[in-house]
Structures are given as structure tokens and as C-alpha cells.
Amino acid sequence: MLDTIRNWRVRRVVARHPIAEPLWQHALRQCAPARRLGATDQAALRVLVTLFLEDKALEPVQGLELDEADRVLLATHACVPILKLGLDWYDGWHSVIVYPDAFIPRRTHTDEAGVVHETRNAMAGEAWGRGPVILSWADVLDAGKVPGHNVVIHEMAHKLDMLNGEANGFPPLQRRMDRRAWTQVFSRAWNRLRDDHRNGLPLPIDPYGLESEAEFFAVASEQFFEQPAALREHLPEVYRQLEQFYRQHPY
């Protein structure tokens, strides 16, 4: 029954707010992971994008304006990771705040000595546990220009990671997945890359992924969708875990 209601709602939303063909083609040109999908998966993604735009509020700030093509493009990037999972995986939050460019959040934290520190670092994106996703539009448009980079997929990976608590590189796994194998594979790869980085060797992923387990998962997810062949070649076990988690086979 639930499925019938859901299907009916999906059909209604898609019928009322279809994505015009030129906008969809534009999104496919800009989003390599979506472009590489087969026709059936692209059609499913198009429905998901329609539902995403119905469900989430995209809020440009600081004078930025997003037209319909921009919104469809952003939603297309955002829906790639949940193509085989469903929009439920993005439950619990509502808005995507979009800055024109890298933004500088004013952060304070109090250390053990009771000293309050304020940090101001330019950021391309940010995701809060129950709150909004924050993105820099300039960085959204840069997806794929630096090979393997996609800030929208990165922040969405953090959102998935936080479905079961704080971001720690351990999202809720699929039923048949082995939790121990996930932890082993990711920590082994992380340690190895950290050693390589210390020894000045080139890394197969953005070194930012070595900041924490959460960043490693997010950066590996970007690479999984943007440059699947490279990830599979250099970190095959990580690739296989992500394949099972996202239920997709991009390579």
C-alpha cells in the first residue's frame, strides 16, 4: 500500500514539474557521473532530481541567482549518490544554501584551557548533521574540472555518513555488508596513503581525504563517481566497498 501511495505521489510530482529536455541535457553535459549512466538509470535519475527539487529548498544568498538550469544541475549532482538508495536517504534536512563563491564561516571553539579560538577558513562546502548543506556555486561549477572533484557529492556523502550519528566515515551500511570489512578496508587504505603522503609520494585521491575518516569517505565517494576507473585501479578494495554501499557500478 505504501508503495502504491508513493508511486502515485511520484507520478503526480513528475507530471506537474517535469524537467524540460534542454535543462536535462544541460545537466548531463555538466555532470560526468550522470552522463555516463545508461538510459534506464538516467531516466530514474531524472525522476529523482524532480523529487529532490520538490523536497529541498535551494537558497542562493549574497546576491547569487540560480535559474532553473542551475537548480536542475545542482540537484543532478546531489542525486547521483542516492540513485539506487532513494530520496529517503536525504531525510531529516531541508535546505541547500548556496554562496556565490568560497565562503568563510566564523567559527569559535573553546579549548581545554578555556580559550576561545576563532577560525576563518574559506570553504567550498559544508554539511550539518540535521541542518542545511552549504555550497559555493563557483565550486559546484568546477565539478570534474579538477579530476575527481565534486563538492556536491562530497557534501552529500557527509550527509549519508551522518545518518547514524556524527560524521566518522561509517555510514549506515547495506544489510548484507560486513561492518568489519568496511572498517578494515578503509583504515588500511587510510594508513597506507598517510605513509605515502609522508614519504612525498603522489596520492590517487585528494590529500584532503587524510584529514579524518569522515573526509576520507567523502573524498573517496567523489572519486568513486567522478573517476571510478582510477579509484578502482589504485584502491580496489575501497572501490568495492563503495560499490556495495552505493549499489552502483560506475566503472
d(CA 138, CA 131): 22
C-alpha cell at 211: 584529514
CB of 231 to Zn ion, least distance (A): 17
Closest-approach residue to Zn ion (CB) = 218
82 contributes a contact to Zn ion by CB under 5 A? no
Taken in order 149, 244, 183, 78, is the CA torsion positive or negative? positive
Indicate the pairing of strand 116-119 with strand 125-127: unpaired
Under the binding rule (CB under 5 A), the answer on residue 157 touching Zn ion is no
Region from 21-29, 92-100, 209-217, 240-248 binding Zn ion, contact rule CB under 5 A: 209-217
Q: 110 forms bridges with which residues in the sheet?
A: 116
User: Position of cell 537548480?
Assistant: 71
- Residue 220 CB, nearest approach to Zn ion (Å): 11
Q: Identify whether the C-beta of residue 224 lies closer than 8 Å to the C-beta of residue 231.
A: yes
3 state SS of 207: helix
To Zn ion, the closest distance from the beta carbon of 1 in angstroms equals: 39
Contact track, Zn ion, 46-75, x by CB under 5 A: ------------------------------
Is residue 137 within 8 A of residue 100, CB to CB? The reply is: yes
Shortest gap between Cβ of 136 and Zn ion (angstroms)?
A: 13
Cell representation of residue 64: 547569487
In the complex, the smallest distance separating the C-beta of residue 169 from Zn ion, rounded to whole angstroms, is 11
Tell me whether residue 46 or residue 149 sits nearer to Zn ion (CB atom). 149
How many Å from the N-terminal Cα to the C-terminal Cα in the chain? 36
Separation of CA 122 from chain center: 19
Of the listed pieces 102-110, 113-121, 143-151, 208-216, which binds Zn ion according to CB under 5 A?
208-216
Site residue total, Zn ion (CB under 5 A)? 2
User: Which of the residues 211 through 230 are near Zn ion (CB under 5 A)?
Assistant: 215, 218
Smallest distance from Zn ion to CB 154, Å: 6
In the complex with Zn ion, the residue whose CB is nearer, 36 or 194, is 194
| Closest to Zn ion by CB, 218 or 231 | 218
* CB closer to Zn ion out of 213 and 215: 215
Contacts of 186 (CB under 8 A, 6+ apart): 169, 213, 216, 217, 220, 238, 241
Judged by the rule CB under 5 A, the positions of this chain that interact with Zn ion are: 215, 218
